């Protein structure tokens, strides 16, 4: 099944919220009626909804097709797909502040949605769920939990993934190296040993890396979770980078890059596609989006296969629930009609079609149980993990978007060997706790 490439890392990089910008946006939000207090348009009255999306061609093409199909079913409602320029985050903040951001916008629960919700920028959906008797149990529990802030529902999970938690590999390189292919019984020790055998070259000069592993805050959650650690406690008030299990997950990444030297140190996101396309990396530990990225650049004469992520010392596979969403803005003039559009985007039909059109399936369990996905070898390895992964850890004060940049600065020193794992984690512990100790946005 051919899929188109979408720019995941570009959006991830731009989605680090500007605290000042969000504060400005919050100040500009007019007082609105409580959830459910705004009245839907009279029956059959024409309504135009503005749906804001990032500038990714295949996403936009798909969304416009869906908008036409939605209007065919709801003739009084038209959807305008409003495409932001490349600097999506900055433009979105400016338009929210000026009241010109439309009715809903493309975002992710793992990019700091809680910050927006706690500032009163998003429209809670609980009244609409009750009004329509909408069944939230059709979604993976972790996906639905990720869409809640302080117990209220602020979005429906349109599509997503269980983190950077599958092994993408070229079986031809395994055969050449005399290494058995990954199985669902593989542990981190098995993957590490295979990476050593599949690495070619001496010292820092490598003709082939055995493994590519990302060093971002988001991606580090996979080995961290597999080793039994987590960045913060369940209450979201106490940092846990002083926990030996959390440190162990960070140490594993460091060792792959610096001790064993089987992985490129502190790699940029595009490097794994560059290495993969030239046949210079045997395995990539990454997520479901690679069906598009790596699938389209697999070198001639080679194939791409996918195995479920390895079991960690904790006894389970690491990961987290990443849910892409289209939350409704509090000052939308047509929140209920926008809710209908959300439900359409989250239908089973659209969830299955997502795979072919944009690479990430919907997050309903019946989507993943559809024969199309169950028989897709690039999708199936992610299924069981989706049933168990936790949402991205969100601080009780909602300040998730303030974490990635300071953590990444310290991570880079660890991955390059300039900072020891212990010292780096101690620095992160201090910085993260300082963020968790701050009041909720707007307080």
Q: Nearest CA to 212 among 289, 272, 280, 297?
A: 272
**152 secondary structure, DSSP code:** E
Distance, in Å, from the CA atom of 226 to the CA atom of 106, rounded to the nearest integer, reads 30
Give the pLDDT score at 205: 87
Q: Say how far residue 2 (Cα) sits from the centre of its chain.
A: 22
Distances (CA, A) of 46 to 70, 76, 105, 287, 365: 14, 5, 21, 41, 34
Statement: residue 23 has pLDDT above 90 = no
pLDDT, one tens digit per residue, over 210-252 is 999 999 999 999 999 999 999 999 999 999 999 999 999 999 9
Distances (CA, A) of 246 to 377, 410, 422: 31, 15, 11
Give the pLDDT score at 49: 98
Give the pLDDT score at 203: 80
Give the pLDDT score at 442: 67
**86 secondary structure, DSSP code:** S
The CATH number of the structural domain formed by 14-162+322-384 is 3.40.190.10
Q: How confident is the model at residue 18 (pLDDT cuts 50, 70, 90)?
A: very low
Average pLDDT, the chain: 89
Statement: residue 29 has pLDDT above 60 = no
Q: How many CB atoms within 10 Å of residue 100?
A: 11
Give the pLDDT score at 43: 62
Helix H or strand E segment including 429 = helix 421-436
DSSP 28-69: HPPP-PPTT-SPPPPTT--EEEEEEE-S-HHHHHHHHHHHHH
The domain spans of the chain are: 14-162+322-384, 166-318+403-436
Q: How confident is the model at residue 42 (pLDDT cuts 50, 70, 90)?
A: low
Statement: residue 335 has pLDDT above 50 = yes
* 146-175 mean pLDDT: 95
Q: Which phi and psi angles does 119 have, rounded to 5°?
A: -85, 0
% residues pLDDT > 90 (the chain): 71
pLDDT, one tens digit per residue, over 183-194 is 999 999 999 999
Residues 6+ apart with CB under 8 A from 293: 5, 8, 273
Q: Worst-scoring range by mean pLDDT, 87-96, 152-161, 265-274, 323-332? A: 87-96
Give the pLDDT score at 89: 83
pLDDT, one tens digit per residue, over 371-427 is 988 888 988 899 988 888 988 899 999 999 899 999 999 999 999 999 999 999 999
pLDDT, one tens digit per residue, over 268-288 is 999 999 999 999 999 999 999
Statement: residue 199 has pLDDT above 80 = yes
Q: How confident is the model at residue 90 (pLDDT cuts 50, 70, 90)?
A: confident
Four-way CATH pick for 166-318+403-436: 3.40.50.300, 3.10.150.10, 1.10.1330.10, 3.40.190.10: 3.40.190.10
Give the pLDDT score at 293: 87
pLDDT, one tens digit per residue, over 248-272 is 999 999 999 999 999 999 999 999 9
Give the pLDDT score at 202: 83
Greater model confidence, 114 or 179: 179
Distance, in Å, from the CA atom of 25 to the CA atom of 107, rounded to the nearest integer, reads 16
Distance, in Å, from the CA atom of 113 to the CA atom of 127, rounded to the nearest integer, reads 19
pLDDT, one tens digit per residue, over 107-145 is 988 888 888 999 899 999 999 999 999 999 999 999 999
Distance, in Å, from the CA atom of 365 to the CA atom of 138, rounded to the nearest integer, reads 6
Statement: residue 173 has pLDDT above 80 = yes
Question: 52-61, 351-360, 432-441 — which one is most confidently predicted on average?
Answer: 432-441
Q: Worst-scoring range by mean pLDDT, 3-7, 107-111, 174-178? A: 3-7
Give the pLDDT score at 443: 55
pLDDT, one tens digit per residue, over 63-81 is 999 999 999 999 999 999 9
Helix H or strand E segment including 325 = strand 322-325
DSSP H helical segments within 333-380, as ranges?
A: 335-345, 348-358, 365-368, 371-374
Which residues in 112-144 are b (16+ Cβ under 10 Å) and which e?
Answer: bbbbbbbbebbbbbebbbeeeebebebbbbbbb
Statement: residue 429 has pLDDT above 60 = yes
% residues pLDDT > 70 (the chain): 90
Topology alike, domains 14-162+322-384 and 166-318+403-436 = yes
């Amino acid at each position: 099944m051919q899929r188109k490439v979408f720019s995941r890392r570009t959006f991830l990089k731009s989605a680090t919220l500007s605290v000042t910008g969000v504060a400005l946006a919050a100040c500009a939000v007019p007082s609105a009626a409580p959830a459910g207090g705004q009245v839907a348009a009279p029956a059959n009255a024409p309504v135009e909804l503005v749906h804001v999306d990032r500038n990714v061609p295949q996403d936009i093409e798909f969304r416009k097709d869906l908008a036409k199909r939605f209007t065919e079913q709801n003739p009084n409602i038209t959807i305008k797909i409003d495409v932001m320029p490349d600097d999506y985050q900055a433009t979105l903040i400016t338009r929210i502040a000026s009241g010109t951001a439309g009715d809903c916008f493309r975002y992710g629960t793992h990019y700091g949605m809680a910050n927006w919700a706690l500032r009163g920028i998003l429209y809670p959906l609980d009244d609409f769920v009750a009004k329509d008797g909408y069944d939230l149990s059709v979604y993976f529990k972790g996906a639905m939990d990720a869409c809640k802030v302080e117990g209220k529902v602020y979005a429906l999970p349109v599509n997503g993934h269980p983190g950077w938690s599958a092994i993408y590999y070229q079986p031809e390189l395994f055969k050449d190296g005399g290494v058995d292919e990954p199985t669902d019984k593989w542990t981190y020790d098995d993957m590490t040993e295979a990476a050593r055998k599949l690495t070619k070259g001496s010292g820092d000069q490598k003709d082939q890396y055995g493994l590519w592993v990302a060093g971002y805050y988001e991606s580090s959650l996979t080995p961290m979770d597999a080793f039994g650690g987590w960045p913060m406690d369940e209450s979201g008030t106490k940092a846990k980078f002083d926990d030996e299990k959390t440190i162990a997950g960070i140490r594993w990444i460091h060792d792959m890059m610096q001790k064993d030297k089987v992985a490129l140190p502190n790699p940029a996101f595009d490097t794994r596609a560059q290495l993969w396309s030239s046949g210079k990396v045997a395995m990539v530990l990454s997520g479901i989006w690679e069906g598009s990225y790596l699938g389209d650049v697999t070198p001639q004469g080679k194939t791409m296969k996918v195995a479920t992520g390895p079991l960690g010392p904790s006894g389970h596979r690491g990961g987290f629930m990443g849910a892409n969403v289209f939350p409704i803005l509090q000052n939308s003039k047509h929140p209920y009609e926008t809710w209908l559009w959300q439900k359409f985007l989250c239908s089973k039909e659209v969830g299955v079609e997502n795979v072919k059109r944009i690479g990430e399936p919907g997050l309903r369990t019946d989507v993943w149980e559809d024969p199309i996905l169950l028989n897709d070898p690039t999708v199936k390895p992610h299924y069981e993990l989706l049933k168990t992964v936790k949402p991205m850890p969100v601080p009780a004060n909602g300040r998730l978007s303030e974490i990635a940049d300071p953590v990444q600065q310290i991570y880079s020193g660890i991955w390059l060997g300039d900072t020891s794992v212990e010292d780096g984690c101690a620095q992160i512990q201090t910085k993260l706790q300082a963020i968790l100790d701050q009041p909720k946005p707007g307080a």
